[in-house]
Amino acid sequence: MSLSEAAVIPHSSNEPWKLPSRGVVGMVCLIIAEAAIFIIFVVAYVFYLGKSLTGPMPRDVLELPVVSTICLLSSSITVHMAVHTLQHGKRSACSLWLALTVLLGSIFLAGTAREWYQLIYHDGLTLQTNLFGTTFYSLVGLHATHVVVGLFLLSLALLFSLRGQVTTTHAARLEVLSLYWHFVDGVWVVVFLVVYVFGR
């Protein structure tokens, strides 16, 4: 390639040029996309309320999942504390808060599993039973899948933290992960209200 001329634009500005963080913007975009997917499943759930031709109805079989909900929503607080402590360099505190987050999320999943066991084996409600079964399991299941992914990532973060490999420089990344976790909790608030409160 021979020498070629190209124009160079000289630096002229002295003001600081600060743009938002890529990780946060990227995660916000992902959250918007995932929110759109959840909205469609919620719309299907609401649209089909009362339209099942047979089978158990929501009010027959659903109970308010109070404990699971409290655990999941509290885990938003604990993950926030994990980020906060890491920002201030307190790694062992961060490990503790991360562990609590994983624990609370796991309790939520266990609660869902218990609820589903009850519904399938005692109430006879499956994905195939009727429109309620179809929309209930898909919506709650989609959310649970997102919880699983989040717990996996949080466990990884916990592992790195316990091994002493996490420092303040990683606080921004942990914050991005915590945004995802807050989103998952936010979705649960909507699912809880639509399925267990208004829809029953």
CA distance 28 to 11: 32
**Minimum CB–partner distance for residue 102 and another protein (Å):** 26
CA angle 86, 89, 91 (to 5 degrees): 65
Q: Are 18 and 92 in contact (CB under 8 A)?
A: no
Smallest distance, another protein to C-beta of residue 155, A: 22
Between 25 and 156, CB nearer to another protein: 25
CA–CA separation, 49 and 36 (whole Å): 20
| Beta carbon nearer to another protein, 41 or 97 | 41
The span from the CA of 23 to the CA of 169, in Å, is 13
With beta carbons less than 8 A apart as the criterion, state whether 91 and 65 touch. no
Q: How far is the CB of 88 from another protein (least distance, A)?
A: 25
Output the smallest distance, CB 126 to another protein, in A. 8
For another protein, the binding residues (CB under 8 A) are 1, 3-13, 17, 19-22, 25-26, 29-30, 32-34, 36-37, 40-41, 44, 47-48, 51-53, 127-128, 130-131, 133-135, 137-138, 142
- Nearer CB in complex with another protein: 28/73: 28
